[in-house]
Amino acid sequence: MSGARRRTLQGWLQERQYATPYHWRQRPNDEHEYMLRTQVVLELAGIAAPPHGAPARPALLDVGCGDGRFTADAARHARSVGVDVSQRALGHARVLVADARFVACCGAALPFRDAAFDLVTMLDVIEHVPDEHEQQVIDESRRVLRPGGRIVVSTNTDCSARELKHYRHYPIDRFRALFDGFHGLTMVGLVPYFPTLRIWMAMPIVWRLARPRIRRCAPEEAQVVIAAAVKL
């Protein structure tokens, strides 16, 4: 399949999902995974439990915010802005999230000044970016991040089940290379589901048996990996 045709297909698949705000209406397994991932992201961002008497809430940019589910959680801890290329997704976000601002744009061309944010999150987004724009998206996130600010990225690893809407699933070494030029890389792995049995995870008996499998793990064993690093 040609690159242009593949981008059209993957864009259509992603836009089709946003016929509803699906991150707000997840099945039990996906919801449990989301809650664990969000807990890890907030911890790595350093805003899960801000120090008593912290001066001002940090400015956070959520790149590829989709329907705003994580942006809403982040807005409890930070002054949050969400960006996405999907007008349909942003339509849901603007209705569902009152405490954040949303901007339609591409992650490879962010309409913000240099060093505008204390935190940048990019959660389950980089796998949707074509190869030729992958580095540009990371560079733009670095540009809008202040020195000493943190970037937090999550994605599927090559241990997870393939999805048509993704351009790639990351080997750990390739994922680690996204943070070249950053400092103090910290990585956390998640086991969110049995890849070959995911369709059965909504069934009550299987859910009770498999729930303990949804947990943190070493990045090398993970199906989803989350990492944070600091801009020098």
Closest CA to 170 of 146, 187, 193: 187
Q: What is the pLDDT of residue 27?
A: 84
DSSP assignment letter at 180: T
The rounded Cα 16 to chain-centroid distance in angstroms is 19
Q: What is the pLDDT of residue 54?
A: 56
> In CATH, what number is assigned to the domain containing residue 159?
3.40.50.150
H helix or E strand, kind and range, residue 43: helix 28-45
Residue 117 φ/ψ, nearest 5 degrees: -130, 150
On whether the CB atoms of residues 39 and 214 are closer than 8 A, the answer is no
Q: What is the pLDDT of residue 53?
A: 56
Q: What is the pLDDT of residue 197?
A: 42
Task: Give per-residue pLDDT as tens, 38-49.
Answer: 999 999 999 997
Q: What is the pLDDT of residue 179?
A: 98
Q: Which domain, by its residues, includes 20?
A: 3-231
Task: Give per-residue pLDDT as tens, 92-118.
Answer: 999 999 999 999 999 999 999 999 999
Could you give the maximum distance between any two Cα atoms of the chain, in Å?
55
Q: What is the pLDDT of residue 2?
A: 52
On whether the CB atoms of residues 121 and 63 are closer than 8 A, the answer is yes
Question: Whole-prediction pTM value?
Answer: 0.88
Q: Which residues of the chain have pLDDT under 50?
A: 195-201, 207
Domains in the chain, number: 1
Q: What is the pLDDT of residue 176?
A: 98
Residue in the block written with tokens 């995911």: 198
Residue 124 φ/ψ, nearest 5 degrees: 55, 45
